[in-house]
């Protein structure tokens, strides 16, 4: 199963976190075996850069020159040899049979030779080998913690902007650990559940959050009915920052401009319904708009879901919305724990296209915001080019019409526990919030609340 998922990820750009869970559910594997298959798949994908470097060194050829089905078999065995406690004999045998079954007898012989060479050193030995002659600190951290060097640099800059650069290794380690699973219990909807023997433990920060009980969350009736959702606490806080920035006035109009797959839209719809406001959701990609409709199905009436380019839609509706969520498409560098292959798939050249789109969407959202309304600019990336710089530029372009709100104060008023957020340099103008996996156990969400003056 792990091999098939890895083949789909490397061959067809599939997402492991979407492919694996349904396969596991269908497989009938015992919980221990399912956990083993998950670690095999996610661990191999997270460590891809390191394992490829080891395979290249052990085979004496660049990995691009190795047949893809053989390379994936080697990667899987390399992870078992260097990242798990699987016996060397079993790990080598399995890689050889996968290579032989998928690429013929010659490939089996090749895999055998490479894997035997890999067994000559342990993970620390291979790291030391690969680090020889590497002097750049970020290149070294990239090898040590299995991140592309450009991502290490971007994370270093984001931490440095908060004077927390000494936390870089802790962050890289957190990216390599499994995230804790949280539920959002949508306010105002029922969550009673026979499958839960004890009341759910409260989440650390989110006032509507709970720690997911062990096992598959889909066994909970509330999750199946969509009144509770698996959602990172950082995402919950981002939605609540908008809905609870100030008391809701009945009749307010809210817009979620980039809503797919609908996690924040569902929480916003619940909050809107409680306050007598109405939500409109929008999502460009039709398949993802479908997921938003499913997420909003528990509400009666369900908020409408449009399928438009967010910037165009917003530009056509000046001064129309009291609150707008702009959870912008981004590199996702703040959610690397969740998407094991994502770090290797994104390239630095993706950043300029994304930042151009983010700026366009933010300008549109500012247009669509009512004077005095609240706009949340959110990314699941801490990359400065996607966060502070986008906001700074948009505020500058708006020429005094847009002001930052004190987002830290809003979240301090919402969170169950203090978030220990640094006092930023833009304090006087209204702070942003940057959450971190290593500090908060959440995705690295960036949240900036903005408002607009009349005229």
Ligand X SMILES: C[S@@+](CC[C@H](N)C(=O)[O-])C[C@H]1O[C@@H](n2cnc3c(N)ncnc32)[C@H](O)[C@@H]1O
The answer to whether 330 is a known ligand-binding residue is: no
By the rule CB under 6 A, 93 interacts with ligand X: no
Q: Which is nearer to ligand X, 282 or 448 (CB)?
A: 282
The answer to whether 256 is a known ligand-binding residue is: no
How many other CB atoms are there within 10 angstroms of residue 175's CB atom? Answer: 25
By the rule CB under 6 A, 382 interacts with ligand X: no
- The one among 209, 213, 260, 334 contacting ligand X by CB under 6 A: 260
Q: Which is nearer to ligand X, 156 or 308 (CB)?
A: 308
Angle at alpha carbon of residue 9, lines to 42 and 67, rounded to 5°: 110
Of 96-104, 125-133, 308-316, 408-416, which segment contacts ligand X by CB under 6 A? 308-316
Of 54-62, 156-164, 257-265, 404-412, which segment contacts ligand X by CB under 6 A? 257-265
Question: Measuring CA to CA, which residue among 38, 100, 115 is closest to residue 69?
Answer: 100
> Min. distance of Cβ 261 from ligand X in angstroms?
5
- List the beta bridge partners of residue 256: 281, 325
> Min. distance of Cβ 125 from ligand X in angstroms?
40
Q: Does a cis peptide bond (omega within 30 degrees of 0) precede residue 301?
A: yes
By the rule CB under 6 A, 307 interacts with ligand X: no
> Min. distance of Cβ 82 from ligand X in angstroms?
33
Of 253-261, 315-323, 422-430, 436-444, which segment contacts ligand X by CB under 6 A? 253-261
Q: Which is nearer to ligand X, 23 or 288 (CB)?
A: 288
> Min. distance of Cβ 263 from ligand X in angstroms?
4
> Min. distance of Cβ 141 from ligand X in angstroms?
27
By the rule CB under 6 A, 264 interacts with ligand X: yes
CA dist 279 and 284 (Å) reads 17
> Min. distance of Cβ 92 from ligand X in angstroms?
41
CA dist 395 and 399 (Å) reads 7
How many other CB atoms are there within 10 angstroms of residue 201's CB atom? Answer: 11
336 DSSP assignment: T
The answer to whether 260 is a known ligand-binding residue is: yes
**Which regions of 68-143 does DSSP assign to beta strands (E)?**
none
The answer to whether 327 is a known ligand-binding residue is: yes
- The one among 92, 259, 277, 414 contacting ligand X by CB under 6 A: 259
Report how far Cα 244 is from the mean position of its chain's Cα atoms: 23
358-395 burial code (b ≥16 CB/10 A, e <16): bbbbbbbbbbbbbeebbbbbbbbbbbbbbbbebbeebb
CA dist 455 and 449 (Å) reads 20
Q: Which is nearer to ligand X, 104 or 352 (CB)?
A: 352
Q: Residues 270, 188: contact at Cβ < 8 Å?
A: yes
Site string for ligand X, 211-250 (x = CB under 6 A): ------------------------x---------------
- The one among 47, 108, 148, 310 contacting ligand X by CB under 6 A: 310
How many other CB atoms are there within 10 angstroms of residue 127's CB atom? Answer: 19
By the rule CB under 6 A, 334 interacts with ligand X: no
Q: Residues 402, 391: contact at Cβ < 8 Å?
A: no
Q: Which is nearer to ligand X, 227 or 235 (CB)?
A: 235
Neighbouring residues of 262: CB distance < 8 A, sequence distance ≥ 6 = 281, 283, 291, 292, 293, 294, 295, 296
Q: Residues 169, 436: contact at Cβ < 8 Å?
A: no
**What backbone torsions phi and psi does residue 66 show, to the nearest 5 degrees?**
-100, 135
Q: Residues 268, 254: contact at Cβ < 8 Å?
A: yes
- The one among 262, 298, 373, 437 contacting ligand X by CB under 6 A: 262
Q: Which is nearer to ligand X, 282 or 442 (CB)?
A: 282
> Min. distance of Cβ 290 from ligand X in angstroms?
11
Of 12-20, 59-67, 120-128, 252-260, which segment contacts ligand X by CB under 6 A? 252-260
Q: Residues 218, 245: contact at Cβ < 8 Å?
A: no
The answer to whether 263 is a known ligand-binding residue is: yes
Residues involved in catalysis: 380
Q: What is the size of the binding site for ligand X (CB under 6 A)?
A: 18
> Min. distance of Cβ 3 from ligand X in angstroms?
29
Neighbouring residues of 75: CB distance < 8 A, sequence distance ≥ 6 = 6, 44, 48, 51, 52, 55
The answer to whether 401 is a known ligand-binding residue is: no
Of 3-11, 110-118, 134-142, 262-270, which segment contacts ligand X by CB under 6 A? 262-270
Annotated binding site for S-adenosyl-L-methionine: 258-264, 283, 309, 327
Annotated binding site: 258-264, 283, 309, 327
Query: Using CB under 6 A as the criterion, which residues of the chain lie in contact with ligand X when the complex forms?
Result: 235, 258-264, 282-285, 288, 309-311, 327, 329
């Amino acid at each position: 199963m792990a091999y098939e998922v890895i083949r789909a990820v490397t061959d067809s750009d599939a997402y492991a976190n979407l492919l694996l869970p349904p396969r596991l559910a269908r497989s009938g594997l015992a919980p221990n075996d399912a956990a083993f298959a998950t670690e095999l798949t996610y661990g191999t994908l997270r460590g891809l850069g390191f394992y490829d470097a080891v395979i290249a060194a052990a085979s004496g050829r660049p990995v691009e020159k190795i047949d893809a089905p053989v390379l994936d078999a080697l990667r899987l065995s390399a992870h078992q040899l260097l990242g798990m406690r699987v016996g060397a004999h079993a790990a080598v045998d399995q890689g050889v049979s996968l290579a032989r079954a998928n690429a013929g007898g010659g490939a089996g012989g090749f895999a055998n030779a490479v894997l035997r060479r890999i067994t000559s050193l342990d993970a620390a030995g291979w790291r030391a080998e690969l680090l020889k002659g590497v002097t750049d600190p970020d290149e070294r951290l990239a090898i040590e913690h299995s991140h592309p060097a450009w991502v290490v640099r971007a994370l270093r800059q984001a931490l440095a902007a908060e004077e927390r650069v000494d936390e870089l290794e802790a962050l890289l380690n957190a990216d390599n650990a499994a995230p804790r699973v949280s539920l959002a219990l949508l306010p105002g909807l029922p969550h009673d559940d026979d499958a839960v023997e004890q009341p759910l433990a409260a989440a650390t920060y989110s006032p509507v959050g709970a720690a997911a009980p062990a096992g598959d969350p889909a066994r909970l009736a509330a999750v199946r009915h969509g009144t509770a959702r698996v959602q990172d606490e950082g995402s919950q806080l981002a939605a609540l920052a908008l809905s609870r920035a100030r008391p809701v006035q009945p009749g307010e109009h809210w817009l979620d401009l980039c809503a797919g797959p609908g996690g924040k839209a569902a929480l916003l719809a619940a909050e809107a319904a409680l306050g007598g406001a109405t939500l409109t959701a929008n999502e460009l990609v039709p398949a993802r708009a479908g997921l938003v409709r499913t997420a909003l199905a528990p509400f009666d009436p369900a908020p409408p879901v449009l399928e438009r380019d967010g910037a165009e839609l917003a530009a056509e509706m000046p001064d129309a919305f009291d609150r707008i969520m702009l959870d912008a498409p981004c590199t996702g560098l703040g959610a690397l724990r969740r998407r094991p292959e994502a770090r290797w798939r994104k390239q630095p050249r993706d950043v300029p296209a994304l930042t151009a789109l983010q700026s366009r969407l933010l300008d549109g959202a500012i247009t669509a915001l009512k004077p005095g309304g609240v706009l949340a600019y959110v990314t699941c990336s801490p990359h400065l080019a996607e966060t502070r710089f986008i906001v700074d530029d948009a505020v500058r372009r708006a020429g005094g019409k847009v002001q930052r709100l004190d987002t830290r104060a809003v979240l301090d008023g919402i969170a169950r526990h203090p978030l220990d957020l640094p006092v930023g340099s833009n304090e006087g103008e209204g702070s942003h919030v940057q959450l971190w996996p290593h500090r908060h156990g959440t995705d690295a969400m960036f949240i900036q609340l903005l408002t607009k003056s009349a005229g």
